[in-house]
Amino acid sequence: MGLAKYQDEKKQDSIQRVQWAIQTLRDLEGSHTKMKAEKLAEMTGLSRTALYKPHLRNLWDTKWIEIQREKTDYKEKSIYNKQIEELQQTICQLKNDLLSQEVKINKVKKQLDNEKMRSKVFKIEYEEQKKENEKLLYKYLVLLRGLHSRGIEITDFEEENIGAN
């Protein structure tokens, strides 16, 4: 921890020196004076390499600050654009899935309609068959009554048919 504390103290000292040098240059040359690393190096006693470190450079180099801001903005825009692209792909995928599901729903609806039609046809055929069976049953009963009135039993015919088979 001793080394980190020492480095932090030196960092704060260099920041104070650069701030003092900037204020002095503005007082002497005006508020719109250009800050140059050479002038600051002479006034602070720091090397130019030290002045170009990010914690000091953002104090005096306005162009560098703008470039860093543009880089940050570009990165944020890139991330934002990538997210938009991913969302658009997700939307397209969801639209395709929705379309696929709608096609399946329509297919099932058609099958349901077909089954309903088949059911109606079956019901109609069933009713027709029922009427036909009722007519046949009526004719059978009329014939049976006629045979019975003449003294002929239907069981006589059934035994002959069973023996013939």
Q: What is the full per-residue pLDDT of the chain (165 aa) written as tens digits?
A: 688 899 999 999 999 999 999 899 888 888 888 888 898 898 899 998 999 999 988 888 888 888 889 999 999 999 999 999 999 999 999 999 999 999 999 999 999 999 999 999 999 999 999 999 999 999 999 988 988 888 887 776 666 665 555
Residues, the chain? 165
Q: Which of 32, 11, 36, 6 is nearest to 21 (CA)?
A: 36
Query: Looking at the whole model, is its pTM more than 0.85?
Result: no
The string of DSSP letters for 60-104 reads: H-HHHHHHHHHHHHHHHHHHHHHHHHHHHHHHHHHHHHHHHHHHH
Predicted pLDDT at 117: 96
How far the first Cα of the chain sits from its last, in Å, is 113
